Amino acid sequence: MRRLAPVLREDGVELDLISLVRTILAACKDISFRVGQAELSGVLGSTLDENIQGETQKKLDVLSNQLLKDMLLESGFVRAIASEEEDFIVEGEHGGRFLVAFDPLDGSSNIDINSLTGTIFSILPVPDNKLAGDAITESDFLQPGRNQVASGYVMYGPSTILALTTGKGVKLYTLDKTHGSFLLTNENVSIPEETQEFAINASNQHSWQAPMQRYVRDLLDGKNGVRGKRFNMRWVACMVGDVHRILCRGGIFTYPVHTDNQAQPHKLRLLYEANPMGLLIEQAGGLVSTGEQNILDIQPTELHQRVPVILGSKQEVQVCLGYHD
């Protein structure tokens, strides 16, 4: 069975894609409410389970995953999903035009301390060679980040904020909790090219490679060092929170290689974190790299693959990459 041609909106965005994003937002509104209920609904704390990556699952990780999974698979727009909290892909409707990869609740160590968390999503096309009746496999998700037709995050903070790109810049929307709708609050996000702010988990300093050691040492040297200016440091322990700050006022964020952990040298996931955030950052005028190549050009080899990440203000990322040459 052949697939029907997509119906487009005036600005060229596919109508089914808009409906799919609305489905994600419906689930995220529910997640936002439950994150806010916290102790009152007994949703804080851990389950007794681990995810495929050996990490303890929080109750809200599991709940958020279930909400997104159910709503996406029932929507009719989604051919299959991949989630950080699912071992394998899950197939949806045969007529669905899209694949969705997501991190249902990023920054889960922040859940129990009433700090920032978020949902990250990446929307990929079903590969052209797949007909409507064909089964979807893991390999269909292994597309470079450049193939994403949309990506974004919903951040659960003092306000609930959506950052969205469909490849035509980045827009921010704020959830009006009295009416339940996401209202456009910034229609063209642009990251300043220069910055004096960096984000890195400095407790891992002993295991960074030499280029990152030198780069951060020069930042810390401040005004009298080679950089000639003072840098400030921020770390939210939630990638959504750090990327949001960078979209708002610039900065550089990195989760580099860990040389002391051969089994797992990288922390962040390519499909659920690095690619969707990479598209947002690039669409807002920033730069995103592993230190060796642009993240969006990586050909993934595994569903739960992890990569080193350097992203943010263009000029500062270029300076950091200069240490890696």
Q: Name the binding residues for Mg(2+).
A: 84, 103, 105-106, 273
> Is 106 a binder of Mn ion (CB under 5 A)?
yes
* Min CB(247)–ligand F6P separation in Å: 15
- The binding site comprises 84, 103, 105-109, 201, 267, 273
Side chain identity, residue 224: N
* Distance of closest approach, residue 107 Cβ to ligand F6P, in angstroms: 4
**Is residue 53 part of the contact set for ligand F6P (CB under 6 A)?**
no
Phi and psi of 228, rounded to 5°?
Answer: 70, 15
Residue 193 has φ and ψ, to the nearest 5°, of -70, -30
CA 217 from centroid of its chain's CA atoms: 28
* Least gap, CB of 139 to ligand F6P (angstroms): 24
Binding site residues for substrate, as ranges?
Answer: 106-109, 201, 267
Q: Is residue 61 at the binding interface for Mn ion, with CB under 5 A as the rule?
A: no
For 34, the token pair is: 């439950």
Subset of 203-262 contacting ligand F6P (CB under 6 A): 237-239
Got the DSSP string for 200-245? --GGGGGGS-HHHHHHHHHHHTGGGSTT-S--EE---SSHHHHHHH
Buried/exposed 96-132: b ≥16 CB within 10 Å, e otherwise: bbbbbbbbbbbbbebbeeeebbbbbbbbbbbbeebee
* Options 16, 106, 282, 316; binder of ligand F6P; rule CB under 6 A: 106
Closest-CB residue for Mn ion?
106
What is the C-alpha to C-alpha distance for residues 121 and 314, in angstroms, rounded to an integer? 23
- Do you know the residue count of the chain? 325
Q: Which does 69 bind (CB under 5 to 8 A by kind): Mn ion, ligand F6P, none?
A: none
- The structure tokens listed for 172 are 């921010």
The reply on whether position 242 binds Mn ion by CB under 5 A is no
Query: Interface with ligand F6P includes 267 (CB under 6 A)?
Result: yes
Give min distance, CB of 106 to ligand F6P, in A.
5
Under the criterion CB under 5 A, does residue 103 sit at the interface with Mn ion?
Answer: yes
Residue 106 or residue 242: which is nearer to Mn ion going by CB?
A: 106
Residues lying near ligand F6P in the complex (CB under 6 A) are found at 106-107, 109, 201, 237-239, 267
